[in-house]
Amino acid sequence: MVLKPSDFKTDVFADWCPGCGDFGIMTALQMALAELGLEPHQVVLVSGIGCSGKEPHNVKAYGVHTLHGRTLPFATGIKVANPELTVLAIGGDGDGLGIGAGHFVNTGRRNLNITYIIHNNGVYGLTKGQASPTLKLGLKTKAMPEPNINEAVNPIALALVAGYTFVARSYAYDVKHLKDTIKAAVQHKGLAFIDALQPCPTYNDINTREWYAGEDRKDPQTGKPQSRLYRLEETGFDPVVHNSGEELEKEMSAMMKAREWGDRIPIGVFYKNELQPTFVDRIVNRIPFYRTNPPAKQRISDENGESTADLSEFFNDLRTS
Amino acid sequence: MKEVNWMAGGPQGAGVDSAANIFGRACGYGGLYVFGRREYHSNIKGLHSYFHLRVSQNDVLANVNDVDLLAAFDAESVLRHLGEVVSDGGVVVDKDQLTTKVMGIPTLPPEFKEEVQKYMTQKGLGESLSDFLADAKKAGVHIYEIPYMDLLKTVAAKLKIEQISKVTRMINVLTMGVSFALLNYDLELVEKAVTAVFSEKPKVAEMNVVALREAYDYTKKTFTEAFPYKLEKTEVMEERIFVSGNQAVAMGKVLGGCRIQAYYPITPAADESEYLEAHEILKTRGGEGGIVVVQTEDEIAAVNSASGAALAGARAATSTSGPGFSLMVEGLSWAGNSEVPLVITYYQRGAPATGLPTRDGQSDLRFAVHAGHGEFPRIILASGDIRECFYDAARAFNYAERYQLPVIHLIDKAMANCSQTYQLFDTGHFKIERGEILDEAKIKDHPYKRFRFTNTGISPRVVLGTKNGVHWYTGDEHNEFGHISEEPQNRIMMMEKRMKKLELVDKEVPIKEKVNMYGDASAENLVFSWGSPKGAILEAMDMLKAEGFGLCFMQLRMLHPLPKEYVGNLLKAARKVIDVEGNYSGQLGGLLKEETGVEPDYHILKYTGRPMTTTEVYGALKNILGGKASERQVLTYGS
């Protein structure tokens, strides 16, 4: 059965502000899932809180809308219990890089085969516009009483050093690019991170749709706006680690790209490395049957309700008579 | 045979634990019952630690105040415990330590030094360890001065080892060899225990056996006068194990079907997770079995990963202590709201804050009952001994899945790090009850309603990944599908749906799984408690019974929801109600007052971080029964 993006829609009203980037991300997600040939029950969307946290309710797939910052731990538990599931974690920039920063970094150490999409709009929307960890130092969006006193964290650079093996950026209003990026992330063997740039039409009056589109920097010749976003794939940039000898070089060139911001902002895949063992591979090394018989699939009791566990080996170690 | 209380003491890292493990096993092989308590500082190497083992031909459930034979690895152990040695008991001491100036021992904390100084002044003692020992000797204590270094040199020669430093780690085994010789115990059984404890390191086992024999033979030859305490082996007809609380919980979880444990290292919980990880491939009937142990980045990740795994259909748990549970509280609230079958094993230790991180405490009952913002159902179990730790660990998963709620299993450090001999746990009568889980064929609603309103409050559950079962969870209030809803009427119905599951627990779970009753049911005075004081209370009651004092003992095992009618009737019928627990404020007493209106007449409390002993509980109860006690008695025994 071939599913269409509309098969991944629910009838829940999406209550984001008009013009919110979340609409684009939701649409790209639904399209990607359909094009990947997945069925709704095979997919689990795990979210944090805030505006982006509501997204799973608008997608027909298993949805787990969790706590502020805890998206990745929930996703980890789900995936480890049943590695057959396609697990996507979605959350805001504050969720993943502020309150959940410890999970962001430590999940990188496991290379679990899940996809994490951060909705990056520079503000805490649902609490009415405070600075998020990705807002640059000195900027003052409209609801802030004073300019931002903190420097911004660089999500791409942080993902690279934390050990994410697929690191990409896309843009909420470039739905096709985002859809393709999500597809590539889900198909990646390992932990994938997407920094999804997204205007907040209500609270971020600096990094607006017009700002990304370059309305303020029209080509003097043609009078056309010059978009700040450019595609890495169109510059011949090769993010793929083809052999282990290339790891450092690829990571460094990704890091250089990660530092670009302002008038030229790269989108696309910064880094992709499938040579690292995934968390599932590592568990299989210890528990050989894990892939076929993971925790969620094990038969723990027989037809009489008796536990299938035989404790005799435990007891033998402790036995005194 | 009189019972024997043996204590091994030494600096951390010197092998007190393995000595105690060997000692306990050796006694177990001879058909003896053993209760062992481990005490240690929050320190890796150097600070004082000890293991107190009580050995008898009859079952032993707790420690007593006495030490019959003290095996000291170092001077501090002598200084710390000499006062506990009974007047005809013995002390095994390193001959080279006799001249040690006690006030110069660098690891002594200033408060303890002050006590020692006071004692020295009072008694007019000199400052050498030998002055203290001479004083004890006057009182009748046997002092066994052993040349540890000479013995080690002989051992090294026999093993053809040139560097003496390679054998100094075996001081612990020397003290055991001396002890068993004095106690006149069968050396073969001790050798068997050494071999078992070092089964994975046969070379080490071999070295230890040589050292053991050397010390044993030396003692037999040198001290010909009989020591008044003896260990006599006895026939044992049943199968027994020597097991710690951490191990019992781990095995209970495996029996109960736990297949994922997420944890963050913390004392005294981490040993359980490590034990599970060491046994991750399980022996199972019908299909392969394994438990995945995930060490997460913090306790927040641990509890939420466990919740995620539970939603995916695995029986999942986390294991922690007070500081870790503090971090888990928001996750607990989410699990309560989303009706997640989550199991949290909660090992209490001395608190607040970092508190007494390696010591005992029972001060987190109210925290466990009230943890989490908002109102949601939970079950709280509290085990009273190591056997109960095993069964409650397994049973927790049944409750969690049947009632779709978080279960907190309270244990305290005294059980976690105590070891005891038990008849092999019977696993035959335990049944796994998973509650209502729908597979694809059984899903009737289309679309499926995860939080369907039902009479019982329990909605048949579908695990993530089931075809045609797509549904949603949210930390927000939600409708039957799991979508966010702030509608007042829905809110009322959802709150009632969740909370009424507690009524079902009240009705369905048999009282014998919630309360244990002991002693004389017709006695007019009632003792109640929870957790580790159980053993000391039971033994104290036996002693009092022999003196003609009957008591009835109610041990609460399900602390939430409290079986308040049953408990209330018992409390109301009693003449004197006595609360025994390991905290400052009598937390269970307070809860019972709230739930039943009955206030305890007496409190026996302890918050030194050391578990209650039979001796002190006996004394405190006797004070009450003799009309000589104040309303509040605070116990202090133990160093």
| Each residue's pLDDT tens digit, B322-346 | 999 999 999 999 999 999 999 999 9
Is residue A291 assigned to a domain?
A: no
Is residue A309 assigned to a domain?
A: no
Q: How far is Cα B364 from Cα B6, in angstroms, rounded to an integer?
A: 32
User: What pLDDT is attached to residue B445?
Assistant: 86
Q: In chain A, which residues have pLDDT < 70?
A: none
Is residue A289 assigned to a domain?
A: no
Question: What domains can be seen in chain B, in order of their start residue?
Answer: 4-222 (3.40.920.10), 243-423 (3.40.50.970), 436-509 (no CATH), 511-635 (3.40.50.920)
Is residue A167 assigned to a domain?
A: yes
- Chain-centre distance for alpha carbon A265: 19
Is residue A321 assigned to a domain?
A: no
Whether A283 and B206 have beta carbons less than 8 Å apart is answered as no
Q: Is it true that the peptide bond before A155 is cis, omega within 30 degrees of 0?
A: no
% of chain B beyond a pLDDT of 90: 99
Whether the CA torsion B611, B615, B616, B621 is positive or negative: it is positive
User: What pLDDT is attached to residue B287?
Assistant: 86
User: What pLDDT is attached to residue B85?
Assistant: 98
Q: Is it true that the peptide bond before B352 is cis, omega within 30 degrees of 0?
A: yes
Question: How many other β-carbons are positioned within 10 Å of the β-carbon of residue B585?
Answer: 14
Nearest chain B Cα to A61, which residue? B470
Q: How far is Cα A321 from Cα A311, in angstroms, rounded to an integer?
A: 16
Q: Which two tokens stand for residue B97?
A: 């330590």
3-state secondary structure of A11: coil
User: What pLDDT is attached to residue A309?
Assistant: 98
Total domain count, chain A: 1
**Is A90 in CB contact (< 8 Å) with chain B?**
no
Whether B347 and B413 have beta carbons less than 8 Å apart is answered as yes
What is the SS3 assignment for B274-294? HHHHHCCEECECCCCEECEEE
Residues in chain B with CB shorter than 8 Å from the CB of A40 are: 470
Helices (H), B139-263: 148-158, 171-182, 187-197, 202-222, 245-255
User: What pLDDT is attached to residue A231?
Assistant: 98
CA distance, residue A146 to nearest chain B CA (Å)? 31
- Pick B313's closest partner by Cβ from A42, A82, A306: A82
Stated pTM of the model: 0.98
Is residue A311 assigned to a domain?
A: no
3-state secondary structure of B584: coil
| Each residue's pLDDT tens digit, B5-20 | 999 999 999 999 999 9
Please name the residues in contact with B93: beta carbons below 8 A apart, sequence gap of 6 or more: B72, B78, B129, B133, B143, B144, B145, B146
Give the B window 442-481 contacts with A, CB below 8 Å: 463-476
User: What pLDDT is attached to residue A2?
Assistant: 84
Name the residue among B145, B189, B182, B176 with its Cα closest to residue B9.
B176
- Chain-centre distance for alpha carbon B69: 24
Q: A287 vs B262: CB contact, 8 Å cut-off? A: no
Is residue A287 assigned to a domain?
A: no
Distances in whole angstroms, Cα of residue B287 to Cα of each of B115, B152, B291, B315 = 61, 51, 13, 17
**Is A51 in CB contact (< 8 Å) with chain B?**
no
What is the SS3 assignment for B123-167? HCCCCEHHHHHHHHHHCCCEEEEECHHHHHHHHHHHCCCCCHHHC
User: What pLDDT is attached to residue B619?
Assistant: 98
What is the 8-class DSSP label of residue B479? -
User: Which own/partner pairs from B80-86 qualify as long-range (CB within 8 Å, at least 24 positions apart)?
Assistant: B80/B9, B80/B48, B80/B50, B80/B112, B80/B639, B81/B7, B81/B9, B81/B50, B81/B639, B82/B132, B82/B133, B82/B136, B82/B141, B84/B7, B84/B639, B85/B136, B85/B141, B86/B141
Residues in chain A with CB shorter than 8 Å from the CB of B36 are: none
Environment class of B156 (CB within 10 Å of its CB; exposed 0-12, middle 13-18, buried 19+): buried
- CA angle, B418 then B420 then B426, to 5°: 125
Q: In chain B, which residues have pLDDT < 50?
A: none
| Each residue's pLDDT tens digit, A231-287 | 999 999 999 999 999 999 999 999 999 999 999 999 999 999 999 999 999 999 999
Nearest chain A Cα to B292, which residue? A295
Range of the domain at A274: 5-282
**What secondary structure does DSSP assign to A262-280, as a single string?**
SS-EEEEEEEE---SPPHH
CA distance, residue A81 to nearest chain B CA (Å)? 5
The domain that holds A104 is classified in CATH as: 3.40.50.970
- CA angle, A76 then A78 then A83, to 5°: 90
Q: How far is Cα A161 from Cα A157, in angstroms, rounded to an integer?
A: 6
- Pick B304's closest partner by Cβ from A66, A85, A286: A66
**Is A54 in CB contact (< 8 Å) with chain B?**
yes
Is residue A169 assigned to a domain?
A: yes
User: What pLDDT is attached to residue B412?
Assistant: 97
- Pick A314's closest partner by Cβ from B279, B394, B483: B279
User: What pLDDT is attached to residue A173?
Assistant: 97
